[in-house]
Amino acid sequence: MTPEQIAALLSFARPHDSRVRRALADPQQSAHTIAEWTRVLADVPAVLPEVRWDVSHAVRRYYEQRGGDRSAQFRAIEPHDVLAAWAPHRAELMQRHTDPVPAADPDNPAAWREELLGTRTAVATGHAPPAQPHAEINPAGQKRLAALVAGVGNGPRRYMPADVAEQLAEFRPARAAREAAIADGQPNPYAHKCTWCGAEDEQPCRTGYRARGKGRGTRALPHPCRIDAATRAAEKAEDEQQSLARLMSTPPAPRERRARHTSGGARP
């Protein structure tokens, strides 16, 4: 806030508190008070519609004595009261903000850090709006992006390069063994929901019988009912494929020729 804004703020508080009115009566004391408030509140904006912030509302709420707070009866409003009112709005700004990639050279850590901190400071003080890259995506695009992210590393269409999967195989032995079995043509038991422990598709089976899954661990191997379901599904798919193959390989029966019935007698 600038000295002009501080003077306007104190003028707004003057009708609410005679102590502020007396402090502004003397020109020298008034100038000293404005200078002190300006030094403390230099990084606080006067109005910021993005987070519904208005410093005059903060002054009014202080004198309304909300929640049984009677501080206004014992002392006039001070700069730290404005800082306390601004803090949650600043936190909301920073929660909306996503650090953009600095334009500085990444090989220069000092310049990179200085630009990054400068952007955050500008957002925290209300001099720049929060950077929100996801706001550029429409609702339909957000749903599609969420669906793609939910499928990363799961399901038959794994969004992971083969070389990365090979490097992670030693850290995920159970998953690596399952992927190798599927590659060899064996049925995937995790493609079906477990009827024993209730594990969803592509989720490992769980141990124990506690309610809501609290304190239950994960099994390295699926339950037998899950393996049976995968085997039955594979057998059914194989039978359907064989039936289709037989149907496609059977030549069609020749059409029977029938005599055509005509009317009107023979032509001359």
Mean pLDDT by 10 residues, the chain (268 residues): 92 88 87 92 89 89 78 86 91 86 87 91 86 65 68 54 78 77 80 84 77 68 87 84 75 68 55
Amino acid identity of 204? P
How far is 128 from 121, CA to CA, in rounded Å?
A: 9
Among 130, 20, 39, which residue's Cα sits nearest to residue 83?
A: 39
How far is 50 from 90, CA to CA, in rounded Å?
A: 11
Give a three-class secondary structure readout of 72-117: HHHCCCCHHHHHHHHHHHHHHHHHHCCCCCCCCCCCCHHHHHHHHH
Chain centroid to CA 91: how far? 17
How far is 128 from 93, CA to CA, in rounded Å?
A: 10
- What pLDDT sits at residue 261? 58
- What pLDDT sits at residue 212? 58
How far is 112 from 115, CA to CA, in rounded Å?
A: 5
- What pLDDT sits at residue 210? 62
Over the range 192-218, which residues count as b (16 or more CB within 10 Å of their CB) and which as e?
Answer: bebeebebeeeebbbeeeeeeeeeeee
Burial class (CB in 10 A: 0-12, 13-18, 19+), 12: middle
Give a three-class secondary structure readout of 12-58: HHHHHCHHHHHHCCCHHHHHHHHHHHHHHCCCCCCEEHHHCEEHHHH
Burial class (CB in 10 A: 0-12, 13-18, 19+), 186: middle
Q: Which residues pair with 206 in a beta bridge?
A: 218
Question: Is the overall model pTM greater than 0.75, yes or no?
Answer: no
Chain centroid to CA 80: how far? 34
DSSP-assigned letter for residue 135: G
- What pLDDT sits at residue 235? 85
DSSP-assigned letter for residue 247: H
Give me 3's structure tokens: 């000295």
